[in-house]
Chain A
Amino acid sequence: MSILVNKNTNVVVQGITGHEGLFHTEQMLVYGTRIVAGVRPGKGGEWVISGKVPIFDTMSGAVEATGADCSIIFVPARAAPDAILEAADAGIALVVCITEGIPVQDMMRVGKYLDEKKVRLIGPNCPGLLTPGECKVGIIPGHVARPGNVGVVSRSGTLTYEVIHALTQRGIGQSTCVGMGGDPVHGLGFVETLELFEEDPHTDKIVLIGEIGGNDEERAAEFIADRLTKPVVAFIAGQTAPPGKRMGHAGAIVEGGTGTAAEKIKALEAAGARVARHPEEIADLLAGL
């Protein structure tokens, strides 16, 4: 079982005809994801991937024809805010935005609109969602995961694959992997994901992968202390990061002395989470729970 996506999720791909869009649509299909449509303005009526996926000009057209309930976005940063809004207006309940480099102020405006529409956004600048054995809506390499009872939530991309891979090699499967993205202003966060894992009967343990910048981890720690009954193993990347420098992710920066790895580790440990010192220790700590 899982959270957010499963074998019945019907997915539309926005920006399906681009290099990355096509490559990952194929990967998602191979994984077994129900890709019901693609959208690319100006190419409606065509088919891609050996005639497997129909293209529509608009999201409303795609949703009307296929009943898609989830979208994944691969369009470039300057068009991505529009793509998110178009998905929301077409009645999509879950939007996964892979695109990196969207201006923060755009995301604040989009976020406000989505809140009013009650649309759930994953990302942007994220690897998306993977429910092993059932459905992949994103770019997480499917073969590194296997079904199981550990929920994974992370602000990172490749670091998440690294951790999932290590878990799988130890025989520890995952219920759902949530890559929430590395931007300072994003959709679904740790707290909302932990709530979903808490309610999911098939998730027994949780791995939380944070990094420097912001206070998402501190808020997650509060939730862990107050409400979460399932055990958590955490890792915080950026323990060696110098202050004031942005470490790749737009959101990974220690500002005004706050957002340090040390603070986050302290908060999570105080909340009862086990904190790994390096990513490969996560599996050890999980196995010991």
Chain B
Amino acid sequence: MNRSVESSAPTPPPPGPRRGYWAGVWRQFRRNRAAVVGLACVMGLFAVAFLAPLLANRYPFVWTASDPETGRTVTSFPLVRQFFAPPEKVVPERVLEMTYNYLLLFLPCAGLVWWASSRLGAWRQGRWLLAPVGVLLLLPFVLVQPRLDPTPYRRLAAQDQGQGVFPPVPYGPFEQGFGNRIPPTWWDDESLEGARDTYHLLGTDNAGRDVFVRVIHGARVSLAVGIVSVFIATAIGILIGATAGYFGGCVDLLLSRLIEIMICFPTFFLILTIIAVMEQRSILNIMLVIGVTAWTGVARLVRGEVLKQRSLDYVTASVALGARSSRTIFRHVLPNSLAPVFVSMTFGIASSILLESGLSFLGFGVDIPTASWGELLNQAREAPAVYWWLALFPGLPIFFTVTIYNLVGEGLRDAMDPRLRMGPAA
């Protein structure tokens, strides 16, 4: 009985090499428990940042009170109004808040559309729903006018002059008046006489604002700065690195010199200097400055990868078919060169967040009154032992965030390492 040859030959590889590659990376990533935990924590952090105004806000979701004039019961939704029209005065900060709030609504809707249409097998048609849904959700953000609502809902509720459903932490990030630099309420401190009527989990800062609320809202700032600045840096880096690597010759020489010059600038000092001479210290400027100074690593990485790819045959084939350089680069070379860039982006987010906190700590970061973890730490500087809650608690989220991003970055890097994925050498 002659067994057929095919039975001992290995099965052919699955089709679509690029899809197979990322599926393989994900499979390998999943095996690294620490990295998976890190990824889950990253999602948790995103959840906190997105849900911030729903978690900590001085305005209740729903408020029912009787109108003193007419005597009728009126129901209002104060938080909803603030949600669609955040009261921040500075434009970039307001745009940031609105973007977060918008995404909080849009992403689940998009997810729902995707899930429903895949279920029905009609993803191609379902896709077209996304645009109108997106526009629809945009309407309230455009139409609702921002209005500062000074109604002291909490006090009214305490005095039984109305009922409302408050967020879990019923204080606002800019709400002052709780007493300057008071330690957490659960801390037994004989120096403070009398009962404090408001509960502050992490105490108050130097302007009498609740620290816990500022920590939660600080997540929005840190995350936004981290991600946007890394995107800027990566975009610039890919542009310059790919151009230098692909075209070689004079272009490479010039661009490499440019990269070298950029590296020569002492980054931290450069950032400090630019921020010092800038007129406005909005969050957008911070993102830009960090992004514009951090692209050199990515550029070198991409340049190296593109150089490697350029000598491969598929590039020659593409050129021989008459494709323009840009097409060859974008469709063929770049997708194959970008794997390590994702790792660098993850680590970049971690270091960007560290950088932003450091800048805020030194007073060169986001402007008051925007909440930032670093800025809270700065308040503890005069007497760390006395203002210990300001020295301890705001640092924890920074540490936590950087750790989880580093974990994910390492997991990603190990998952993409071909040597670790292959079995023992024959």
A binds B: no
